[in-house]
Amino acid sequence: MAKPRVAIIGAGAAGLSCAHELERLGCQPVIYEISRSVGHPFPHTGAILEILFRSITTQDLLAFARQTYDISLMPLNRVKKIIHISANSRSIVQGDLGYLVIRGQLENSIDNQISDSLKNTHILFDHAPDWQKLTKVYDYVVVATARKDIPASLGLWQDTVSTSIMGAIVLGSFDENTLSIWLNNDYTNKGYAYLAPYNSKRASLVLCVANIDTEQLPAYWKKFFTIEKFNFTVVEEFQTTLTAGLVYPHKVKNLYFAGVSGGFIDPLLGMGAFPSIASGVIAARSTIYHLDYEKEISFLINLIKKVNNIRNAFIKLNNTDINRLIAILGLPGVQQLIYRTKINVIDHIHSLINLW
């Protein structure tokens, strides 16, 4: 049988994973990428935390991705400790909690790892195609960008949170297996901040401030440094925006939506690597096998909606409430239940919120 002609818009984790699966199934897709390289334009370290995805699998997440999606990734490090920090509280949890990974244009980023595995995909860099024209030229078009413009133009997009992001590569002394997360409304405005090391001397420090004008972001960044009394050496800074949203439907005629443009990003902590990979692969399989894409991705959609409801409850908390929450997370019994078992935390929290 003749294989379909498939175009992919976006060379991030979702688009590259889609291309990888299409190649495996005998296709030669074309990727249109607006920038000059794959991945995020701003290299940074991020995390894949297993606690968020227990409704999908209790298996090791990278092993699951390898076995289920044929995507093999080499992480930067294991996350063995997470430090939660609020205005007046701190808790530390330890265990096998997930992975630190590099995103963006560095050589060992997960984006480049997937890109390096491609053999027959043609990537057109510096291309911002007319998606409507592509739908007439190709059998299928998979939109896998980090923007909402295409689904929004079709009336498929509903904003959940708009985040202004400022980050930096900082120098200091770091534990390579520790992820630090700050929850303090004084400088996050219902958002969050995190520090994820590259190595013992270099780390990504990222501040995500919710629902502000981008012109205000430097003031929040300065307040972040002042309140937390950082003495890091800042090597390089970047500033960007990211909007998370809900999309429906995820397929219109021969147009599929994956990755961030399909709403596949955790709206609580902004972690989208795993959902992007999964949605990209499933979109590829749906084009080849004529699957019901909406049905195939329903497990991801349900997870994203539950996390969004948790975020809607979280944004009602003030700093005093967050202090109490962080203190509760530090209790030995709570840590044992949440982090040392495979209990589906998201579903339980979501059920409690609905009862409340």
Range in 56-60, 211-215, 330-334 with the lowest mean pLDDT: 330-334
**Residue range 241-258: average pLDDT?**
96
Q: Which of 281, 274, 289, 2 is nearest to 117 (CA)?
A: 281
Question: What does the pLDDT read at residue 218?
Answer: 97
pLDDT tens, residue by residue, 50-93: 999 999 998 999 999 999 999 999 999 999 999 999 999 999 99
How many Å separate Cα 272 from the centre of its chain? 2
Query: Domain coordinates of the chain in residue numbers?
Result: 6-355
Question: What does the pLDDT read at residue 40?
Answer: 80
Question: What does the pLDDT read at residue 333?
Answer: 87
Is pLDDT at 338 greater than 90 in this prediction?
Answer: no
**Residue range 237-261: average pLDDT?**
96
- What is 6-355's CATH superfamily? FAD/NAD(P)-binding domain (3.50.50.60)
- Give the CA-trace dihedral at 279, 103, 186, 89, to 10 degrees: 90
Is pLDDT at 197 greater than 90 in this prediction?
Answer: yes
Distance between CA atoms of 85 and 282, rounded to whole angstroms? 37
Range in 120-124, 165-169, 213-217, 337-341 with the lowest mean pLDDT: 337-341
HSE-CB at 282 with a 13 A cutoff on CA atoms is: 26
237, β-bridge pairs: 168
Confidence of residue 269 (pLDDT cuts 50, 70, 90): confident
What is the residue type of 97?
A: L
Q: Which of 176, 169, 121, 137 is nearest to 10 (CA)?
A: 121
Element counts in the chain: helices (H) and strands (E): 13, 14
pLDDT tens, residue by residue, 144-167: 999 999 999 999 999 999 999 999
How much of the chain, in percent, has pLDDT values that exceed 70? Answer: 99
Contacts of 178 (CB under 8 A, 6+ apart): 79, 80, 81, 82, 83, 197
What is the residue type of 177?
A: N
HSE-CB at 176 with a 13 A cutoff on CA atoms is: 9
How much of the chain, in percent, has pLDDT values that exceed 90? Answer: 84
DSSP letters, 84-137, are EE-SS-EEEEEEEEEEEEEESSSTTSHHHHHHHT-SS-EEETT----HHHHHHH
Contact present, 45 and 102 (Cβ < 8 Å): yes
pLDDT tens, residue by residue, 88-146: 999 999 999 999 999 988 889 999 999 999 999 999 999 999 999 999 999 999 999 99
| Structure-model confidence comparison of residues 2 and 273, the more confident one | 273
Q: Are strands 157-171 and 233-247 parallel, antiparallel or unpaired?
A: antiparallel
| Residue whose token pair is 């590569």 | 169
Kindly tell me the sign of the dihedral angle through the C-alpha atoms of 160, 166, 167, 173. negative
Distance between CA atoms of 86 and 76, rounded to whole angstroms? 27
Is pLDDT at 219 greater than 90 in this prediction?
Answer: yes
Contacts of 249 (CB under 8 A, 6+ apart): 156, 294
Q: What is the DSSP letter of 2?
A: P
| Residue whose token pair is 């390289």 | 37
Confidence of residue 335 (pLDDT cuts 50, 70, 90): confident
Confidence of residue 356 (pLDDT cuts 50, 70, 90): low
Is pLDDT at 172 greater than 90 in this prediction?
Answer: yes
